[in-house]
């Protein structure tokens, strides 16, 4: 016999069924009236959130559950779904919903747990953290599309790099990229990534030299909530985890502490890791690329770089040429940089033939990074016109003038070279506002070497 249709109202529900819906161990609901007074609280609340229902009824919700803002839902009339909240010392995902009568008038609010099992909450939180970081990566990636992500140049050294990069992009073998500071090693790594089967996955760059030694393990491998003092309550995924199904570039691998090298080797061998403070093994699928401006062979001889790690990361080796070794490519590289820089200003600028001639003759100790710095300065000083010799740093124009009469009439070649070196150091310091660390980077030398040369030339 077919049941008679009825109105879909609460009047049709059995009292026991209605009570079972409202009072259940999965949601632990709390119901308040328009004044924030608790009118109902689940009898499971004592076990789940540490609140005794016998004493909670009739009290303001804020007095019973200090962490809650359920009463604000009554005031705003807007639901809040899926927010995390610590209640009773336990992380939970909560929904807070205004209650309305059939006329639409707010008569109270209900708060209930969408998920209160802490391990599940932490798992979801961690996944959300990974997704948020990947979202940030893709946003940054869209911005970085304006950057120099292609290999510019037609010289033999650049053609060789392109050929090797395309060859290795068809495999998942680890790649080691070496070269002086500022030669575009990251650009080569990205070129490999973009031409590989992982092109749609993330490209995560880690500057090993920029992370304090005590933090590098947590940055690379992640940690569980409360794993150490200062750790985020919900934990944090590591860079390797973020690079899953993509490519990770460990830049400046030569600066990684020796103690950390052993831990890295174990992760590379097993293709799995555990968070700091965690017990769950995480399997990973990534492509490893490393880069350095250090001589790893020399470091192995001195015992500052592990030999077994070297052979693990260097299945395929690519050397990035210095800018001074490819002078014929300088015009193309400079024009590419200018086209990118012009997107950031309201007054497009180009480079005069005379200025370009000087750029080609300069030795570029800071390589492409220094060239970009020079062009940025020229773009500002030229203000919409052409970058001419007068818009270039003195270290470039002065060398050009000296090349016409290299040896001073009143001095030896050694004196002339000494004068040139002193002036180059002064120009580098001036262009960085006296920042010796940046000046050393532009000059392509260590900071201690810069200090020694400043002492020799009486540069203050």
- Cβ-contact 149, 190 below 8 angstroms: yes
pLDDT (tens digit per residue) in 372-403: 999 998 988 888 788 999 999 888 887 665 55
Is 142 exposed, middle or buried, given 0-12, 13-18 or 19+ CB atoms closer than 10 A? exposed
| Ordered structural domains, the chain, with CATH | 19-116 (3.30.450.20), 121-319 (3.40.50.300), 326-456 (1.10.8.60)
> What is the C-alpha separation between 30 and 273, in angstroms, rounded?
41
Distance CA 429, CA 443 (A): 10
Q: What is the pLDDT of residue 173?
A: 95
pLDDT for the residue 149: 55
Structure confidence at residue 89 (pLDDT): 62
Residues with pLDDT less than 50, the chain: 1, 143, 145-148, 405-409
Q: How far apart are CA 365 and CA 87, in angstroms?
A: 59
Contact 73, 79 (CB under 8 A): yes
Residues with Cβ < 8 Å from 218, sequence gap 6 or more? 227, 228, 231, 236, 238, 276
Q: How confident is the model at residue 148, as a pLDDT? A: 44
* Closest among 207, 185, 162, 191 to 368, alpha carbons compared: 185
Given this model, what pLDDT does residue 130 score? 67
Claim: this prediction has a pTM higher than 0.75:
no
Does residue 25 sit in helix, strand or coil? coil
Q: Which residue has the tokens 């030339």?
A: 457
pLDDT on residue 412 = 61
């Amino acid at each position: 016999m077919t049941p008679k249709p009825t109105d879909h109202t609460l009047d049709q529900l059995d009292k026991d069924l209605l009570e079972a819906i409202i009072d259940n161990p999965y949601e632990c609901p709390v119901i308040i009236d328009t004044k924030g007074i608790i009118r109902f609280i689940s009898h499971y609340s004592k076990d789940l959130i540490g609140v005794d229902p016998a004493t909670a009824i009739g009290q303001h919700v804020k007095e019973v559950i200090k962490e809650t803002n359920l009463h604000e839902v009554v005031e705003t009339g807007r639901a809040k779904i899926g927010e995390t909240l610590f209640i009773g010392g336990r992380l939970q995902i909560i929904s807070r919903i205004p209650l309305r009568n059939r006329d639409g008038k707010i008569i109270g609010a209900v708060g209930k747990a969408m998920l209160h099992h802490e391990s599940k909450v932490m798992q979801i939180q961690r996944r959300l953290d990974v997704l948020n970081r990947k979202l940030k990566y893709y946003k940054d990636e869209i911005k970085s599309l304006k950057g120099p992500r292609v290999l510019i140049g037609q010289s033999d050294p650049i053609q060789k790099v392109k050929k090797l990069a395309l060859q290795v992009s068809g495999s998942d073998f680890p790649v080691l990229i070496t070269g002086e500071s500022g030669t575009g090693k990251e650009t080569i790594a990205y070129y490999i990534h973009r031409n590989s089967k992982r092109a749609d996955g993330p490209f995560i760059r880690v500057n090993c030299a920029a992370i304090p030694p005590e933090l590098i393990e947590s940055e690379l491998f992640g940690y569980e909530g409360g794993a150490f003092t200062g750790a985020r309550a919900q934990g944090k995924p590591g860079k390797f985890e973020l690079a899953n199904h993509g490519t990770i570039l460990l830049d400046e691998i030569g600066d990684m502490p020796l103690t950390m090298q052993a831990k890295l080797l174990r992760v590379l061998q097993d293709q799995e890791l555990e968070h700091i403070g965690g017990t769950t093994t995480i399997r990973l699928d990534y492509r490893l690329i490393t880069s350095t401006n250090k001589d790893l062979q020399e470091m192995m001889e001195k015992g500052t770089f592990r030999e077994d790690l070297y052979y693990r990361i260097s299945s395929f080796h690519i050397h990035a040429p210095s800018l001074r070794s490819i002078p014929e490519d300088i015009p193309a590289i400079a024009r590419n940089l200018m086209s990118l820089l012009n997107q950031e200003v309201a007054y497009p600028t180009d480079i005069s033939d005379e200025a370009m001639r000087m750029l080609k003759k300069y030795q570029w100790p800071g390589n492409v990074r220094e060239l970009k710095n020079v062009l940025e300065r020229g773009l500002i000083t030229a203000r919409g016109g052409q970058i001419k010799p007068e818009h270039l740093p003195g270290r470039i124009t002065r060398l050009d003038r000296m090349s016409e009469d290299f040896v001073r009439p009143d001095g030896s070649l050694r004196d002339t070279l000494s004068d040139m070196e002193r002036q180059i150091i002064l120009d580098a310091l001036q262009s960085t506002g006296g920042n010796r660390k940046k000046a050393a980077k532009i000059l392509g030398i260590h900071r201690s070497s810069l200090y020694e040369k400043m002492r020799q030339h009486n540069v203050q």
